Amino acid sequence: MKAKARHYYLLLFLFGLSACQGDRQPLGNSGTQDNPCRIEGRIEGGGRLEIIVEEMTARELIPVDTCYCDENGAFEASFDVGRESFYVLRFGDEMLTLLISPGESLKLNTNLARPGYFRVEGSPASSLLAELSARHKATLEELAKLSRRSRDLRNEAGYPELKRELDRQFDSLTRSFHDYSKGFIESNLPSQATLIALYNLYGPGLPVFDPASDLELYQRVDSVLLEHHPEVEAVQLLHSQLAEALQMLKTSASGTGPKAGEIAPDFVSSQPDGSALALSDLRGRYVLLSFWASWSEPSRIENARLARLGKRFGGKAFSIVQLALDDDREDWLSAIEEDAVPALQLSDLQRWACPAVELYRLERIPSNLLIDPEGRIVASDLFGKELEEKLEQLLK
């Protein structure tokens, strides 16, 4: 049970490919290479810089050319391309991703002081990636500013209220980039460039697309790319990962835990002030029982959404009860303050040895159950828009 539980996000565990700069996995496969491609470029501030060009296969990065900028940052690279494939230009600590077709001649410009921003001509698919990269980089920069501001204000009076405002801004930025990326994918299918958008990250373990709530998007990308690029290894890999993920979800859904329509098993746990609270004490209200932990990044992302939902639906015969699988009291209390979810907070401080884990056959976090006023389970593991729509339906 505990081994399974550590895989707290079934799909996120499977979808390990990342398009995040500096931690990027291979995505393409060029096949037979017999068509020349040429890149003429300039890196402002990149005089005498070494540039390594690598092909991204589904399993590895393969060097295809090495060149050097002149004193003005100008460079030329030439290599063969058998079919449309991903390539990276690596220089210094930076890396630019291109999607090149046979015979293309590219003109590229970038600035060493602004990594992630570049212009490219002569390759429509690479131009798409330049657009995506610029928007992604701008979003990451704004998120980093918010994180720094949060750290700087930690000891200020009124920090919890300031933190809530920063969280609201964080949520707005991530929601905006999520919507932009979804539009990018819908507008540019069946281009392989959509793979980069699908796998983009805000940071390690923080995907733009939640593999649970955005599962339909994964399925659409898989279906369209498999139809148009069946020979590409990265597309085949996405298809096999998705099939495995769906099977795991099916197995999880048919597990032995309590099901919709059944009475939610009662338990007693401790609140931050040490007082005891039983789940049954909340009878007469709709309850969202949320399992999470301060050390679980997906849980902290979900907490930002729950904070918004709690503010919207609080006072409407609805309560959020959060049971934390923590073992460090200070970490738990600090996370409660930082995330500011309007909820009744509980923890036995026993991590996965918490009795409720066995009671609910819990295998991952974040996880939740929606419980009606009679104590019966309405649904489980509703996230994002799906959870919001269900609450709108029940609490209207």
> What backbone phi and psi angles, to 5 degrees, belong to 224?
-70, -45
Residue 355 CA to residue 13 CA, distance in Å, equals: 25
Residue 238 CA to residue 229 CA, distance in Å, equals: 12
Note the pLDDT of residue 248: 61
Q: Where are the domains of the chain?
A: 10-246, 268-395
Note the pLDDT of residue 150: 84
Residues of the chain below pLDDT 70:
1-34, 204-205, 212, 248-256
Note the pLDDT of residue 49: 96
Residue 323 CA to residue 314 CA, distance in Å, equals: 18
Contacts of 219 (CB under 8 A, 6+ apart): 242
Fold of 268-395: Glutaredoxin (3.40.30)
Q: What is the pTM of this model?
A: 0.63
Q: Are 357 and 5 spatial neighbours (Cβ–Cβ below 8 Å)?
A: yes
Note the pLDDT of residue 103: 95
Q: For residue range 27-66, what is the model confidence (pLDDT) as tens digits?
A: 544 444 467 899 999 999 999 999 999 999 877 899 999 9
